[in-house]
Structure 1
Amino acid sequence: MTYKQAQERYGIQGRSNVLVWLRKHGQLNWFKGIEKPNTVGNGMLDSPSTQIPEQRIKELEQQLEETQLKADFFEAVVKVMDRDFGVRISKKRKAELLRKKR
């Protein structure tokens, strides 16, 4: 599918958005306009629909573990920033923001 076909089919107006999406998720041959498997991607060899459940579960468990490690790392960074530098990094609540604006 070309980006023009994707724009027409899905009603997307921006060309760059379509190109980014097709590069990431689509199966686009940039030279001939013929569909082919995308060799560049996010590390998944098979699409989720072609994987057996055990493969998909294993992949999701790996993603979960990586996400948990990232969350732990960022929490540690926030604690160090607070403890060593006195910088508080936290989301402000909506009510607090409204009070400060008044």
Structure 2
Amino acid sequence: MKDKPYVKRTQKDYTLSFKLKVVEEVESGLLNITQAANKYGIQAKSTVRDWLRKHGGLDWEHKSRLPLEKSPEQKLLELEAKVRLLEKQKASLEKKLEFTDKKAIIFDMMIDIAEDELKIPIRKKSLPQQLIDSKLNKKKG
């Protein structure tokens, strides 16, 4: 098996949302620093440590488990990353909704064509008798 060639990366190669995701996984205890570096192909554990110091909510400098207060800039960057993520999710859902709407229209057209050509009613135009009977029984009772 060939080793992957060494590719020098810079901090600009990683998005803020990616860094925050890694930091969150380490701080929540899902991964340790080494596991995070291996899972995400981050070449140095020190890179993950730097992200923890810069973006994390714990005091990693002094090995304290007390949460640090985030600076307004950090809060703003996190919120901007969340907004971008939500905007992407919204756009994706809007595309899916548009596709589903078009699909429903096409199915309606297919049913109309089938009803015309086969001369049989495919759509139910009234409630089933069983449902009508149960509604009448509820009114009487």
TM, length-normalised to structure 2: 0.30
Considering only CA atoms, is the larger Rg found in Structure 1 or Structure 2? 2
From the two aligned structures, give the one with the greater strand fraction: 2
As a proportion of its length, which structure holds more helix? 2
Q: Normalising to structure 1: TM-score of the pair?
A: 0.41
